[in-house]
Amino acid sequence: TQLLEQSPQFLSIQEGENLTVYCNSSSVFSSLQWYRQEPGEGPVLLVTVVTGGEVKKLKRLTFQFGDARKDSSLHITAAQPGDTGLYLCAGVNNDMRFGAGTRLTVKP
Amino acid sequence: GAVVSQHPSWVICKSGTSVKIECRSLDFQATTMFWYRQFPKQSLMLMATSNEGSKATYEQGVEKDKFLINHASLTLSTLTVTSAHPEDSSFYICSAPGLASHEQYFGPGTRLTVT
């Protein structure tokens, strides 16, 4: 059973479209992180959110941490084929637990 | 920035043999390291927490006698898969926390294939 529920699990969209990935939990986290992973490689950190209600922007990516620090979302604007990959959220307390991941495919 | 290395990056072994995977923090010390396993098209699942100088803490369902963890120094943790079977074939990733509570540095992973 995943501590973090991530949705959708798979997403295939056309270049230029917007998308949102959700990460939900019944647990409170001291921080939450989003990673992107390419096949055969370790995950690469995109962002860390710490404060409830926090919003961070990284170019076309917007990350939000829920007020209660139990959930988060990742919004990508005008997706590009280079955004294709596995996106993972991870809740941090004494250790780090990952969501199931969202496999995004952006078609040109 | 902080770097974590893993060795080997990939290994193929025969069923019944043992395989050792190393995880090193290259420019910082880590009293704790985490070992994850990732099956194809799935997420990372925490296997165990490696503690320098003491016993590792295993997650529920992970056999401690099968997955031996040794954290002998502040920069090295090893995971030994004993009596490997094909179902142990997976991508094994380690990580080490940084100074800040939310910092975590991941290794590049080790692809294990048991034939």
Identify which of A44, A48, A100 has the shortest CB distance to residue B43: A100
Instruction: Using 50 as the pLDDT threshold, list the residues of chain A that sit under it.
Output: none
pLDDT, tens digit, 9 for 90 and up, residues B35-78: 999 998 889 999 999 999 899 999 999 999 999 999 989 999 99
A90: which chain B residues are within 8 Å (Cβ-Cβ)? 104
Cβ-contact B112, B89 below 8 angstroms: yes
CB contact under 8 A, A97 and B46: yes
A39: which chain B residues are within 8 Å (Cβ-Cβ)? none
pLDDT, tens digit, 9 for 90 and up, residues B65-111: 999 999 989 999 999 999 999 999 999 999 998 877 678 899 999 99
Model pLDDT, residue A6: 95
Three-state SS string over chain A comes to CCCEEEECCEEEEECCCCEEEEEECCCCCCEEEEEEECCCCCCEEEEEECCCCCEEEECCEEEEECCCCCEEEEEECCCCHHHCEEEEEEEECCCEEEECCEEEEEEC
Model pLDDT, residue A13: 97
Cα of B15 to nearest chain A Cα, Å: 22
Identify which of B34, B93, B109 has the shortest CB distance to residue A95: B34
pLDDT, tens digit, 9 for 90 and up, residues A42-72: 999 999 999 999 999 999 999 999 999 999 9
A45: which chain B residues are within 8 Å (Cβ-Cβ)? 104
Q: What separation in angstroms does the CA of A89 have from each of A4, A12, A84, A86, A108?
A: 8, 19, 16, 10, 26
Model pLDDT, residue B82: 97
Determine the residue among A3, A98, A105 to mutate to test chain B binding: the one whose Cβ has the most chain B Cβ atoms within 10 Å: A98
Residue B1: pLDDT band with limits 50, 70, 90: low
Amino acid at A6: Q
Cα of B16 to nearest chain A Cα, Å: 25
Model pLDDT, residue A24: 96
